[in-house]
Amino acid sequence: CLAWSSASAQGAYPNHPISLVVPFAAGGPTDVVARSLGASMAKTLGQSVVIENRTGAGGTLASQHVARAAPDGYTFLIHHNGMATAPALYRKLSYNPLTDFAYVGQVADVPMTLLGRKDLPADGMGGFIKYARENGNKINLANAGLGAVSQLCGMLLQEALGVQFTTVPYAGTAPAMTALLGGQVDVLCDQTTQTIPQIKADRVKLFGVTTLDRIKTLPDAPTLQEAGLKGFEVKVWHGVYAPKGTPPEAINKFNAALRAALKDPAFTQKMTELGADIVPESKQTPEGLQTWLQSEINKWGVVIRKAGVYAD
């Protein structure tokens, strides 16, 4: 009957645009994934997915915002490993990743690359290691704040090399990359979703990749492990979250749109070009994300406490 179907169509979810919060600056690696994902998901949802960049405190301000947002199915968060590292990095975190969110699913895994400014007087990973040991804190290392994967990578790198650089934090690795291109900072460890175009255009020095094996998109780049940093590995993963209490109907629809996007060539081809791998189906679910998040909190908690890095 017409009256019933029009009433139910009006109330059907979603009936207005959905906000997807990105914890870092526009134009950066997380933003690139979010915008492309949102555009693809909108095709399934029949509503636009509006990207909202909420920067600050290494992604924790955005997480806090979403944890406290109305659980109405119109606010979601895309976040990476930072969701799992924040509890160890911030002693006074205002939210709990394991109790304050509803889970949608994971998206893609992304390698990182270790880069230097174009005119850094060091070549190859061997040259970089020598330069780093000789120059220590005269070297400026850019990152996107405590909780960013650029910070995690930089922290592990300094530990592995036994050096301490001077850290320069930005609101995301988009402005950090601008600083590297302009020669205001020396080194940046950043996701391939932002760095591949700069590497291919030869605007930066590439020292290596942070995965245990070489990657298809940059076959000539050595791994940091190959260059002597045994076991060095940082792989970035992305999850989609909602405030706890979001209706299951909304989570299910958003998850169905997410899974459709992860099969949409418009999204998957872009990810492949940028070095990212779509996660297997088992990780594309709320349970897959929740289980993974718990394991990552355990894993990185140990590493971060050992490094002794934290904010009060």
Q: How far is the CB of 1 from ligand MLT (least distance, A)?
A: 49
Nearest-approach distance from CB 294 to ligand MLT, in angstroms = 20
How many whole angstroms separate alpha carbon 254 and alpha carbon 230? Answer: 40
Q: Which residue in the block uniquely carries the two structure tokens 């406490």?
A: 305
**Smallest gap from residue 99 Cβ to ligand MLT (A):** 23
Please enumerate in sequence order all residues whose Cβ is within 8 A of that of 234, keeping only pairs 6 or more positions apart, or say none: 81, 112, 149, 152, 153, 156, 189, 210
User: How far apart are the C-alpha atoms of 122 and 157, rounded to whole Å?
Assistant: 16
Q: Which residues on neighbouring strands pair with residue 115, listed in sequence order?
A: 188, 206
Binding status of residue 149 toward ligand MLT by CB under 6 A: yes
Residue 148 touches ligand MLT, criterion: CB under 6 A: yes
CB 197 within 8 A of CB 149: no
CB of 116 to ligand MLT, least distance (A): 17
**Choices 118-126, 143-151, 218-226, 261-269; region in contact with ligand MLT by CB under 6 A:** 143-151
User: From the CB of 95, what's the least distance to ligand MLT, in Å?
Assistant: 18
What is the Cα–Cα distance from 188 to 177, expressed in whole angstroms? Answer: 8
The least distance separating ligand MLT from the CB of residue 289, rounded to whole angstroms, comes to: 18
| Region 51-80 residues binding ligand MLT, contact defined as CB under 6 A | 80
3-state DSSP of 32-43: HHHHHHHHHHHH
Size of the site for ligand MLT (CB under 6 A): 15
What does the per-residue mask of binding to ligand MLT show for 155-174, with x meaning CB under 6 A? Answer: -----------------xxx
Cα angle 215-221-194, degrees, rounded to a multiple of 5: 70
- Closest by CA to 284, choosing from 244, 246, 252, 249, is 252
Q: Does 101 bind ligand MLT (CB under 6 A)?
A: no
Q: According to the binding rule CB under 6 A, does residue 192 interact with ligand MLT?
A: no
> Contact region for ligand MLT (CB under 6 A) — 60-68, 126-134, 144-152, 301-309?
144-152
Q: Which is nearer to ligand MLT, 30 or 106 (CB)?
A: 30
Query: At a CB cut-off of 8 Å and minimum separation 6, what does 176 contact?
Result: 142, 143, 144, 150, 168, 170, 185, 188, 190
Site for ligand MLT in 9-38 (CB under 6 A): 24-25, 28-30
Residues that bind ligand MLT (CB under 6 A): 24-25, 28-30, 80, 82, 144, 148-150, 172-174, 191
